[in-house]
Amino acid sequence: METRYLGNSGLEVSLVGLGCNNFGRRLDQAQTSEVVSAAIDKGITLFDTADIYGGEGRSEQYLGNAIKGKRENVIIATKFAGDMGEGPMKRGGSRKYIIEAVEDSLRRLDTDYIDLYQMHFPDLHTPIEETMRALDDLVRQGKVRYLGHSNFTGWLIAHTHHVAMRDALNPFISAQNHFHLLNREVQPDVQPACEKFGLGILPYFPLASGLLTGKYRKGLERPQGARLSDGLMADRMLTESNMDKAEALFEFAATRGHTLLELAFSWLAQQPAVSSVIAGATSVEQVESNVEATNWILTDEELAQIEDLLADIS
């Protein structure tokens, strides 16, 4: 398994990571443990969870149980700031809440440190200096090793970088944002900000929730029991335009001897500043396919052909 530095930090992470938002929701403890063991066996080191995943902290709890005895082989990335209960004191980036949130995550994960502590969403009310000072304290106390953020905009990434430099605080080293072949919203400003200020990008929804795995085909029945089998998310993702694009990408990969899954992973792995592709998985087989899927080094010509091909589909 290839490893990459997470931004300008000294932390090396596996190029394929494991997203953990199925734990406690789609997967019970036993299934979670199976998927996590397979991932560790295949060389995955980066596990991305959040306090809000799985409901009532279950994803963190299941992950903590699944890595018992293997803590030193695992990089735990978790998050705070999302809604963990009623009222204003169970979310956000205040000093009061952060100090409470980290203790809750440490308890659920059953560990005494978190490798990457990420602010899940910006909190535009709390002064960023308050948030960053509180996070810096956690690093100095040894409860957290590195800091990251998620869903930040380019201007906020630049601003937090300057605050960290000005106030001699530990900077954010990673940015987790929505990014895949069919969603390019990071490209105008988040990605250049990450390159400029030395943050590693952890693209989320790298497989467009499964659409870019090749199992949703135009004109064919949808697979049963998958995330996009039915429901609101399926309506949002499986639009005619997205289906046409996925179909064109499927053919593009197939004519070059590859799968759409390999294209989805390999394309992301070649994007500037990307450190790890943290796809979710609901089975051991999926983990096994995903760890092999960054094997295609796309040429400049192929990368340009993909842009032309997608531009032709409205």
Taking the complex as a whole, the smallest distance from the CB of residue 294 to ligand NAP amounts, in Å, to: 12
Phi, psi for 112 (deg, rounded to 5): -105, 5
DSSP secondary structure string for all residues of 188-240: TTHHHHHHHHTPEEEEESTTGGGGGGT-S-TTSPPPTTSTTSSSHHHHHHS-H
What does the buried/exposed string (b/e) look like for 199-237 if buried means 16 or more CB atoms within 10 Å of the residue's CB? bbbbbbbbbbbbbbbbebeeeeeeeeebbbeeeeebeeb
Residue 48 vs 115, nearer CB to ligand NAP: 48
Give the residue numbers marked as catalytic.
Answer: 53
Residue 132 vs 264, nearer CB to ligand NAP: 264
Taking the complex as a whole, the smallest distance from the CB of residue 31 to ligand NAP amounts, in Å, to: 11
- The CA distance from 73 to 107, in Å, is 19
Residue 90 vs 305, nearer CB to ligand NAP: 90
State how beta strands 172-178 and 144-150 pair: parallel
Please state, in angstroms and as integers, the Cα–Cα distance from residue 304 to each residue in 83, 189, 190, following that order. Answer: 41, 20, 21
Taking the complex as a whole, the smallest distance from the CB of residue 53 to ligand NAP amounts, in Å, to: 7
The percent of the chain in helix, strand and coil, each rounded to the nearest 5, is: 45, 15, 40
Taking the complex as a whole, the smallest distance from the CB of residue 168 to ligand NAP amounts, in Å, to: 28
HSE toward the beta carbon, residue 292, CA cutoff 13 A? 8
Taking the complex as a whole, the smallest distance from the CB of residue 278 to ligand NAP amounts, in Å, to: 5
Residue 4 vs 137, nearer CB to ligand NAP: 4
Residue 9 vs 213, nearer CB to ligand NAP: 213
- The CA distance from 158 to 10, in Å, is 21
257: alpha, beta or left, given left = phi > 0 and alpha = psi -120 to 50?
Answer: left
Q: Where do contacts with ligand NAP occur on this chain (CB under 6 A)?
A: 19-22, 48, 120, 150-151, 176, 204-210, 213, 215, 226-227, 261, 278-282, 286, 289-290
Taking the complex as a whole, the smallest distance from the CB of residue 301 to ligand NAP amounts, in Å, to: 27
Residue 26 vs 137, nearer CB to ligand NAP: 26
> Cα torsion for 197, 171, 143, 87, to the nearest 10°?
-100
